[in-house]
């Protein structure tokens, strides 16, 4: 499977280079953003394949037999599920800027599904890496390393690439400060803890997919054929002077 994932990613990369390598950085483009996202989705799948996360997921059942009779499993599953829906389809969805972008169900559904499934698998790759680093470690130590790696990746990737080059502008400085501790941090804390205890690969991926479907619909990700103008991310200096997403500030502010 790895060779097909690699070929798909290389094809998207070549298409991007041929058409958008000179695209003005201050102008957001839907087809360019979709190509960048597609390359990232292929990267996530390739890492999941190489790390063993993809194989572990495909080999695991949706629910292990003993869990059906475990009331603590039912309670834990209910807690993380309710949180994801409330945090992302509730708080995140309501506190997102759209600048008049329209609800376009099919492309936003496809984008959210691809984003969620590949991101969930990529996060599980960090778990596999933590297991490889510490095969004899206690569970809490494996969790801590995986959590630190995922958190570091997300902090850098989302802030300095995804929200700059892929997502259309959808936040303000205030909403960025509010969303991180109210949605993203508790999401990974709860979901990774749930996974560490119960090892439900498919449910972990499903939870991340539900969250990122809310993000795709909430920010109204434009279809790849969309040519309507939308504000690009406001760039501010980040790590090593590289640009990061600073959130929209009205011109008069």
Question: So what's the pLDDT on residue 23?
Answer: 85
pTM of the model: 0.95
Q: Tell me phi and psi for residue 29, to 5 degrees.
A: -125, 125
How is residue 247 written in tokens?
Answer: 């959130």
Report, in angstroms and rounded to the nearest whole number, the Rg of the chain calculated over CA atoms.
Answer: 19
Q: pLDDT value at position 26?
A: 80
d(CA 173, CA 218): 17
d(CA 29, CA 243): 18
SS3 69: helix
The tokens describing 63, both together, are 């629910």
Q: What is the mean pLDDT of each run of 10 residues along the chain (253 residues)?
A: 93 96 87 97 98 97 96 98 98 96 97 98 98 96 98 94 95 95 97 98 98 98 94 90 91 68
Confidence at residue 60, expressed as pLDDT on a 0 to 100 scale: 97
The reported pLDDT for the residue numbered 97 is 97
- CA-based nearest residue to 191, from 204, 206, 173: 204
């Amino acid at each position: 499977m790895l060779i097909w994932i690699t070929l798909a990613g290389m094809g998207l990369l070549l298409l991007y280079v041929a058409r958008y390598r000179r695209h003005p950085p201050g102008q957001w483009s839907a087809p360019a953003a979709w190509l960048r996202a597609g390359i990232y989705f292929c990267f996530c799948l390739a890492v999941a394949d190489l790390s063993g996360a993809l194989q572990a997921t495909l080999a695991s059942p949706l629910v292990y037999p003993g869990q059906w009779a475990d009331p603590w499993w039912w309670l834990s599953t209910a807690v993380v599920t309710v949180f994801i829906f409330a945090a992302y389809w509730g708080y995140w969805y309501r506190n997102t800027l759209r600048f008049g972008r329209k609800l376009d169900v099919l492309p936003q559904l496809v984008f959210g599904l691809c984003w969620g499934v590949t991101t969930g698998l990529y996060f599980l790759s960090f778990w596999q890496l933590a297991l490889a680093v510490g095969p004899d470690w206690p569970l809490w130590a494996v969790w801590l390393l995986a959590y630190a790696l995922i958190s570091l990746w997300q902090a850098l990737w989302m802030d300095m690439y995804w929200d700059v080059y892929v997502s259309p502008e959808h936040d303000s400085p205030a909403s960025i400060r509010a969303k991180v501790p109210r949605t993203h941090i508790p999401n990974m804390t709860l979901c990774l803890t749930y996974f560490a205890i119960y090892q439900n690969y498919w449910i972990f991926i499903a939870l991340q997919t539900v969250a990122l479907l809310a993000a795709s619909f909430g920010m109204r990700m434009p279809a790849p054929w969309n040519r309507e103008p939308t504000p690009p991310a406001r760039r501010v200096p980040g790590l090593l002077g590289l640009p990061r997403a600073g959130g929209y500030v009205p011109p008069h502010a």
